[in-house]
Structure 1
């Protein structure tokens, strides 16, 4: 069910942007001013470990491709119109169990057109096939077998995390993240993972194991966290690892709207600033050197949420 009627929801989004600190600086802004293009152009042929663009366009969503899924085809067409520099597949990319056959039959005909510029993470459904073997084989050229990894997008350091394996306090993954953040102290950080630290869905609860990761990112110039898992869209205020408002906290986007059936959200949710659970779509990010902007755009070309923050 929708949390609000469309016209009401757009009004709330505009109000949030104007008075609730939609920008990291505390000032409202309308975003990057771009609109989805109706022209379909081929995606770039390859994504290097570092995107040289000063303000790369990165598109993200998770919970994507099922058999005969028209919604996944529609989100893929939407992405193609944006001509992104990189695509982030946020896990549960090929249903039901992430087998190689499901990646080839369900994911490849839709989001597979962006495979060469995709930097994915796995979800719980991807681990439905022995240690996510289908995921690692399908994306072999993109992730080289790594369970988690980092790369650069313009000025930004991008962290592809995996909490389907241990990511909590004392884990190898957390130690790796802390070390990499220390090595890149001047780069703003964006992290993405399948299960969200905060969410208000009727289906899946928040992932508390991410608290240590969240704290590490916040202590190391972390700005944005992306997740999926709950099949809806949510954006939260800047928060610390315990969910308290913090001007130096991370901003979380839950983008489980890539194609799988949508889940209803709870009407009330602390610190949530935007939400919708009735349209598929993707999050478009422009990661600049001094500012970043976001838009959540649906397959019907509706911009349901947008804003801008300072790096």
Structure 2
């Protein structure tokens, strides 16, 4: 039960930290306490405009979800980075996109914000977080429950750039805080930052158990070991997930990490079609083991980023086969602001036949409403991407489902 202790420790730290940081609006009379773990919320004489961050209803929680957000700031420290990869590039969403998605998320008045990785490009330095991500998304910081992406861990040596990987240092330094020398704290809202735990953790919203995982196994921090069955870090994380799921007694479960196991924008690799596990690369292949565990424990939803688009995939089993009765729907929400990809296929003829609907013409955040035994989703883009006009904003996707 040691891993359960880790999860409980994460929840305990977060409860204490968030209670200290909770803000009470001048419009509110009485006490308003943020409780991301779904414990009792004291809120008296609330008015409609007293958020942040009072929770208003025991019947439902709001979770905002998005990844792939902030452009690399155009400053002296990044002078060697090609202009096409930095804020201000006409091919990127830029600051206007990340401010637009941050406002969209803020307007949802969320109880928590699931960040699906690649919060900060290109390599997630702490100074980049402070000069870009923080400018737009900093107002939601105490509600943000992040997962890391490849741009927080890996070097970036493409398109004329050459930046060394941060192995999570800037990510943990930003979300967990750091000392005066910039060394990240070993505990915080992004989970533990230790040799044995690179930021996987779980938390609760009412009847919902929510799990944030780190898939960045091809990094120095994971010793480039993407096996889920040996004694390496990813193997330890997978065992932690198994223990966490076994200990969970809530009826509804969400898990999220960065690289999608099943793809909406990757047509195929040499050996793996888009509908097969691992079409997105080594990380997606490794997280096939997570799908199997989540399927075994009747998880409700899986959320991913990495692909710069929005896509909803039908309920699937771990082999990527449609399974309406027992399968898990996958949502890809990589439309946070940095850039947009190209979908593999077109409506009605996607390369992955499990893609129900998708868009890659605009930036936006998904709103999840979590009820005791059911959920609903609502996705509407908020800003057209480069090369697109306002017609891209006509897209929407909404619906509902139940916990198994």
Alignment partner of 1:59 is 2:106: no
1:284–1:294 contact (8 Å) kept in structure 2? yes
Q: What is the aligned partner in structure 2 of residue 196 from structure 1?
A: 260
1:173-196 CA-to-partner distances (Å, cap 9, x unmatched) read 111111111111443210000000
Match of 1:100 among 126, 148, 153: 126
Using the TM superposition, give the Cα deviation of residue 164 of structure 1 relative to its aligned residue in structure 2, in angstroms.
0.5
1:168, 1:195 → 2: CA distance?
15
Map 1:225-240 onto structure 2 (within 5 A).
Answer: 225-240=302-317
Match of 1:159 among 211, 217, 220: 211
User: Secondary structure at the residue paired with 1:222?
Assistant: coil
Query: How many residues are aligned here?
Result: 269
Compare CA radii of gyration and give the structure with the larger one: 2
1:46, 1:133 → 2: CA distance?
31
1:56, 1:103 → 2: CA distance?
28
Greater length-normalized contact order (CA 8 Å, ≥ 6 residues apart) = 1
Structure 1-normalised TM-score?
0.81
User: Secondary structure at the residue paired with 1:78?
Assistant: helix
Alignment partner of 1:136 is 2:123: no
Q: Provide closer, same or farther for how the CA distance between residues 234 and 248 of structure 1 changes in structure 2, counting only shifts above 3 A.
A: same
Alignment partner of 1:259 is 2:337: yes
Q: Provide closer, same or farther for how the CA distance between residues 55 and 179 of structure 1 changes in structure 2, counting only shifts above 3 A.
A: same
Map 1:29-40 onto structure 2 (within 5 A).
Answer: none
Q: Which runs of 4+ in 1 moved over 6 A?
A: none
1:167–1:174 contact (8 Å) kept in structure 2? no
Using the TM superposition, give the Cα deviation of residue 167 of structure 1 relative to its aligned residue in structure 2, in angstroms.
6.9
Alignment partner of 1:305 is 2:382: no
| Stretches of structure 2 lacking an aligned partner (at least 5 in a row) | 1-25, 40-57, 74-86, 88-93, 155-164, 177-187, 194-198, 218-225, 269-278, 384-392
Q: Provide closer, same or farther for how the CA distance between residues 203 and 90 of structure 1 changes in structure 2, counting only shifts above 3 A.
A: farther
1:130, 1:89 → 2: CA distance?
18
Using the TM superposition, give the Cα deviation of residue 278 of structure 1 relative to its aligned residue in structure 2, in angstroms.
0.3
